[in-house]
Copies of this chain bind each other. A is one copy, B any other.
Amino acid sequence: MPSVRVTLWNEYVHERTNPDVARIYPEGIHSALKEALLRHGNVEVRTATLAEPEHGLTEEVLRQTDVLTWWGHAAHDDVRDDIIARVHARVLEGMGLIVLHSGHWSKLFKRVMGTSCALCWREAGERERVWVVDPGHPIANGVDHCIELEQSEMYGEPFGIPTPDDIVFISWFQGGEVFRGGCTWRRGSGRVFYFSPGHESYPIYHNPQIQRVIANAVQWAAPQGRAANTPRNTPVESALEPIIARGPSVHDAHGTLTR
């Protein structure tokens, strides 16, 4: 089984501007995730950040990426639209995408979902329990009945997402809310996983169970089949059953739409 080529994308702003965050992730959230993934194995990991040319997401990098993870919060609007379009296209071709925490509000996630991706929130350092509701799912493999996070940001319903294909985790919050915090979708040939824990004020990505979920998700999201997103004209003479064209047309002899 070949190792999965992962690119960890991080906005990398709060780790450099907010001393509390810097203390938890001195080298950035991406570096903490990189270490964690390498420990779980069967991956090759590179990182990319907002400040790099093309945000570190060149055509070349994306072509060599099986699974992309996305963390952003303070600078969603600074991400270039053309790079988003490029990443989106690669997802449809089959690249896996794992969107983390405040990445729910990124241009990329909204575009891939086609919905608001809005939610309720409260930053109070309250207790969260991430419950496994689908124990047979590979992303929940090796995870306890629930992951307890002593301090977390509350994300609450209603969450403006399309019906997920699978809901793997649902979170409980001390202040009284619930949240569908671990969901999957298919987009084109690409697999998408959203995972809500990971507020930068708390050391959530140092939690071994959280790391395990992300490592599982990386394996799950790796491409499985082939891409199929090109519109194709199938000429009459190559129809599988013999047919004869009849009736009027809005296309010319070359199949081009006339106007």
Contact = CB atoms under 8 A, between A and B. Distances in A.
Interface in A133-154: 133-138, 140-141, 146, 148, 151, 154
Query: Interface size class for chain A?
Result: 35 or more
A115 interface: yes
Contact of A177 (B124, B172, B255): B172
Interface centre among A136, A186, A251 (most CB of B within 10 A): A136
Contacts of A137: 224-225
Contact of A224 (B138, B199, B250): B138
B224 A136 contact: yes
B136 A201 contact: no
A207 to B, nearest CB: 15
Given A122-B235, A250-B14, A257-B74, A136 B226 contact: yes
A59 interface: no
Contact of A158 (B125, B135, B156): B135
Chain A to chain B: the 5 pairs with minimum beta-carbon distance, closest first: A136-B189, A125-B247, A176-B240, A20-B248, A175-B239
